[in-house]
Structure 1
């Protein structure tokens, strides 16, 4: 019997559907795997950029500690430069350093002079034997010029300290001994904590033997640490000091997994570490998991797509992959990696061009993220990127995005001067835009330049980024400064300013600031009609300092307001003393710095001092600054309050700011004080006045008269300038033609002669 097989007929639509599902399933699998691979690469790239950011941060902290150590040595150098040790006995040196202990750095616990036999003559008039100390042998036996010790316990009180030693040489070059200063580790810890941009950050410092010098936990000071988990990949504190630089995974002293970013701290043998908990990186993992989940959903949806769309979707996938590896997914700008590649090409192909590099970010962006959330933060970054990209296109620049809110811009420039002028103009315009954003914000910038003479451009873009990044760290959160420019003198300027800042409070207490008076002369009869009070600083450490050395710094850090009120009181004392002794007097004008932005507080503090002294208010004139940060409304309010109390008000440096004579119709000031730049720009090399400039100045004087304002010109230095101002009916003049700024005693004599 034969077997007959059935010949089944399969429905073509069913066959096509099955085939489509199989193809779609394969295609979906390819999509999931490919996109998962891309996502992993993007997450890895973000992690790499974050690691680079942390390395930059740890490098910045290490530089801050170095600057702190150098400021300590600068005080010891002050002792050495006196030359006292070479001409006096050990006991006399001890008495001397005790006598001048007021010059000590506030962080010093004690200062000693140590002779070559190892006897330390302490500033507190006690003795100690330091022959068992490492720093003694480094200076005396190994001939070090200076040395910073590892952490030790003090002979004096058994407290953990570090010792700084600086050698004292005789004229013949032989060793006389050395000065040493002890600093409590608790004091150093507080200084290091002050460097932190964010109090949630955690840094530590290790000595060469792996003992903690600085640590958030005071109990860890002078101790070493090894993770309790026995794993060869986890580092102990001793192993960390041997490595010195890089980033590694380990277990923290709190028992949590962390990544530490290490830097050496010159001129010491210390190692600084920035500790970042691994929990921070879980955010990257969570984002990756969200992406994977979305990919699975996308895969299921893709299985429903018809067969004829499969190859089209594949082509889109490849295109997407290409875009994501070159462009930032949020802003569509280049990623930092691709930006560096393109920047290197641009520099290589243009060896004879000048370049300007900018690194910028958003002030207090972390605050925005914490208070408004991820969506609002991303929207802010996108808005900022659009504004920056528009400017980049305008000037044929290239632009990229780094980690979080960091952006990089590189462009060719004709000259540094012209580039900075354009930058300042565009920054002003950009500030108006960001101020009007739904969450107002400000940006800050680090700037570096590359000149054609830099022939080796192999690693130039990384150098430019590092230089600009360092310059930006000097701004910190100073709202008066939006940018900083890197140059070879920047570190020296930072050291000088930090030294000034560390001494300004003591200088005010010790009366190192004093007032000089520059006469104001009536052009009608050549008699004195007033004077301006000008501040000077006679520092026992820095010598005589002119205002341009410290006033800009004090305006940035806010100390200028204290100095203002100090000057006011000195002027009030001077006038009261003149009245009491029946001596001749004239009105004195005092400067109100741009930092006074609250009229009620200024008037309260100003009047509180003024009312301590028996002088009439018409002897005081307050000079406000045209280019102040105050708006017209605030200026008007302060002027009216001063008028109410009987004081006159002058607009100082008029013409050097951004306002106009139209502004004067709103602010009822009494006197227009024209900036010296008018006369400087209008005077030819032969001393004659430029005709066109002279006509312009005459128009300004005439308009001032129409507004019933008295007029005075600063910077009058020649008879030609004096005669010109007299001919156009200017009221008063001030400048070296009549007198330089005078001490109080010389000023009194000047009044007697020129009344």
Structure 2
């Protein structure tokens, strides 16, 4: 009974302390929230300003790159007649880059423009500076030619081959484009941006900028007129606009405070500098903080009420709950070993100890669950845990996180001595395939070295990032974090996130590189090559996204997309009565690891009712090296009627003897072999290789042919067809069709 009476007293003490603490923190929480919201707004302000500056820098850089490219072409023309002819061909660039006009001004000040205006511009500042060898962008001008509107003039000098100035090339840029870039909504459209020069003159403003700012024409005049308290802010802004580093500040206006962030654009010249000013009113803070403060206060009141009712029950049951939670919190229910929470506790007690975090999982583990059942998958994970335990030493730790993910902390001398241990561990895991009669197990490990164990999740995350270096390659089991390119990882993540929408929206385009008869010059076929055109018009190189998609598995979907698209295009040509040529399609090494790959491609081909000879498949030489089933796959493709080409032959993995086992129909000689032409020993090597391959009954395609000397040599070798820039670069669909009509030989 005495013990029972003690319970309410404990509850009252705890409740009293809780109430005091809660009430005392209300004011502190309110001020802290306001401070955090202020910091958040300022951080967002910096991000928005930086993003606007990046977009403007890109716009300006692209425009100047175009002008420099055109200037080089005009400089090569040499005389006025040729220059006039070239400038007459610039209308397509005006449309593409959305200029109002492009023009060339002769040294006498006479101008030739794409829209046909001819006048004397010898007094214009951009012309005078251009004739002095100076590029530049003008402040905002009012265009009096054609439709009156605000403009900015991009200009650069044009040099002839002797480095003499031939004149000035300029492009008239609609100021409206700057306004559109600056008009990206921010802070619920309460924030606005403007582009100013180093003197504070306004170049352009976002569409929601105050009318008083637009009328002032100078940001200094606008701030000066806004409030009498702005003497100090004006001096601060003047310092900002006289430098080149990003900076933030504030000023007063309309009865409230405004915050701004200034970011300098790239210097055109030392005496010219533009800045992006992103401005947000103080009322954004109250808009954001007031609802939060109200919710916090309501939440605190609710906590007080709940605490009053729950404290008694909590005190009564806390000991029992602790014992139960301790049993459940640190033991993994599947393996019976440590879970991640237990691992973190252990690591925190060993903070300062040097060692290696290892993130381990099994590539394509879901295949085991799908083909053998969940029970077999669980049995596999238990065996993985046993192998991990047998490979760790005293003072090292491990845990099962979830699914097929495990974490280890290993102590070793350095990366070189740790590598063999990881290789041994991975080999033991690979042996599970035979022991458990399951699909091939391929473990992957990412390794991060540290002595700081206060943030275990972050350390594990870095180890996981390292694992992406080997994910999907099947050439190595482990990689270290210090091998990572963090910027590339960020770019890869953006491409991964955009893949599904890009595929759905038709951003992936097929280009065709013709294969030509070296003797007659007739087209014999083509190779389909993938290109990624983003919504903003930029083209991503296959070298950027193909290796990434090979690692994350998206390449199989992309392979099937290319194959299906080629089949669809061949069907259209057939229905239109056009001559059909074989269009070869690349199939990646990753796709070849799937046992149903042949059936999948047969199914796609069958849906279009095409003869497989019109869609031959190209397999890279490297894909045949690490795939033990490649010979069987080749036979299955042949049985399905497909023609097979061995791509990149001679790129570094060649084994002539293996060709007796892998029966390819065509061998594509890699550019590295073609480049031997002109070297006596290299030509002998090419001669013997082609004679051997032809004796096997294989046809020969030469890749990367760029010179007439190479073409003549390959003719003498009786090479069947040629692919390379000598005849044609990869072409988009319409240009390829035009090339085919021109070189049909019919």
Normalising by structure 2, what TM-score?
A: 0.53
State the secondary structure of the residue aligned to 2:171.
Answer: strand
Q: Is the 8 A contact 1:206 1:241 kept in 2?
A: no
Instruction: Please tell me whether residue 700 in structure 1 is matched to residue 689 in structure 2.
Output: no
Q: Which residue of 1 aligns with 2:448?
A: 397
Q: Which residue of 2 aligns with 1:479?
A: 499
Match of 2:276 among 272, 275, 287: 272
Aligned residue pairs total 536
Instruction: Please tell me whether residue 152 in structure 1 is matched to residue 141 in structure 2.
Output: yes
Where do 5+ consecutive residues of structure 2 fail to align? 323-339, 342-351, 357-400, 410-444, 453-457, 540-556, 674-685, 703-713, 729-738
Report deviation, 1:653.
2.0
Report deviation, 1:97.
2.1
The 3 A distance-change label for structure 1 pair 721 and 390 is same
5 Å-filtered alignment, 1:361-440, equals: 395-397=446-448, 410=462, 421-422=469-470
The 3 A distance-change label for structure 1 pair 76 and 25 is same
Distance 1:171 1:530 in 2: 38
State the secondary structure of the residue aligned to 2:616.
Answer: strand
Report deviation, 1:161.
0.7
What is the CA deviation profile of residues 526-556 of structure 1, one whole-angstrom value per residue up to 9, with x for unaligned ones?
A: x999944359xxxxxxxxxxxxxxx564477
What is the CA deviation profile of residues 312-341 of structure 1, one whole-angstrom value per residue up to 9, with x for unaligned ones?
A: 99xx9xxxxxxxxxxxxxx99xxxxxxxxx
Q: Is the 8 A contact 2:110 2:118 kept in 1?
A: yes
Q: Which residue of 2 aligns with 1:323?
A: none
Q: Is the 8 A contact 1:113 1:179 kept in 2?
A: yes
Q: Which residue of 1 aligns with 2:667?
A: 713
Q: Which residue of 2 aligns with 1:608?
A: 572
The 3 A distance-change label for structure 1 pair 53 and 41 is same
What is the CA deviation profile of residues 267-325 of structure 1, one whole-angstrom value per residue up to 9, with x for unaligned ones?
A: 35333355678659855654454344333333345457479979x99xx9xxxxxxxxx
Q: Is the 8 A contact 2:525 2:583 kept in 1?
A: no
Distance 1:529 1:677 in 2: 23
Q: Is the 8 A contact 2:156 2:170 kept in 1?
A: yes
State the secondary structure of the residue aligned to 2:300.
Answer: helix
5 Å-filtered alignment, 1:325-336, equals: none
Distance 1:87 1:64 in 2: 35
Report deviation, 1:180.
1.5
The 3 A distance-change label for structure 1 pair 673 and 654 is farther
Distance 1:146 1:408 in 2: 51
Instruction: Please tell me whether residue 732 in structure 1 is matched to residue 699 in structure 2.
Output: yes
Distance 1:206 1:38 in 2: 38
Distance 2:57 2:474 in 1: 36
Instruction: Please tell me whether residue 294 in structure 1 is matched to residue 299 in structure 2.
Output: yes
Q: Is the 8 A contact 1:234 1:250 kept in 2?
A: no
Q: Could you say which structure has the greater relative contact order, defined with CA pairs below 8 angstroms and 6 or more residues apart?
A: 1
Where do 5+ consecutive residues of structure 1 fail to align? 1-12, 317-330, 333-344, 354-384, 401-405, 430-446, 452-463, 483-500, 521-526, 536-550, 562-592, 684-692, 702-709
The 3 A distance-change label for structure 1 pair 470 and 677 is closer
5 Å-filtered alignment, 1:251-650, equals: 261-267=261-267, 269-273=273-277, 282=287, 286-287=291-292, 289-302=294-307, 305=311, 395-397=446-448, 410=462, 421-422=469-470, 471=491, 475=495, 478-479=498-499, 515-517=514-516, 531-533=524-526, 553-554=531-532, 594=558, 597=561, 605-613=569-577, 615=579, 620-627=581-588, 632=597, 635-644=601-610, 648-650=614-616
The 3 A distance-change label for structure 1 pair 560 and 74 is closer
Alignment RMSD, CA only? 6.6
Distance 1:182 1:243 in 2: 29
Q: Is the 8 A contact 1:206 1:272 kept in 2?
A: yes
Report deviation, 1:152.
1.1
Report deviation, 1:34.
4.5
5 Å-filtered alignment, 1:85-100, equals: 88=79, 93-94=83-84, 96-99=86-89
Report deviation, 1:147.
0.7
State the secondary structure of the residue aligned to 2:561.
Answer: coil
The 3 A distance-change label for structure 1 pair 677 and 201 is farther
Distance 1:160 1:529 in 2: 53
Report deviation, 1:165.
1.3
State the secondary structure of the residue aligned to 2:267.
Answer: coil
The 3 A distance-change label for structure 1 pair 595 and 263 is farther
Instruction: Please tell me whether residue 75 in structure 1 is matched to residue 66 in structure 2.
Output: yes
What is the CA deviation profile of residues 647-691 of structure 1, one whole-angstrom value per residue up to 9, with x for unaligned ones?
A: 5432222665689566678877423424335654454xxxxxxxx
What is the CA deviation profile of residues 393-451 of structure 1, one whole-angstrom value per residue up to 9, with x for unaligned ones?
A: 76453899xxxxx99955699xxxx976425559999xxxxxxxxxxxxxxxxx99789
5 Å-filtered alignment, 1:39-54, equals: 48=39, 51-52=42-43
Distance 1:743 1:132 in 2: 48
Q: Is the 8 A contact 2:75 2:160 kept in 1?
A: no
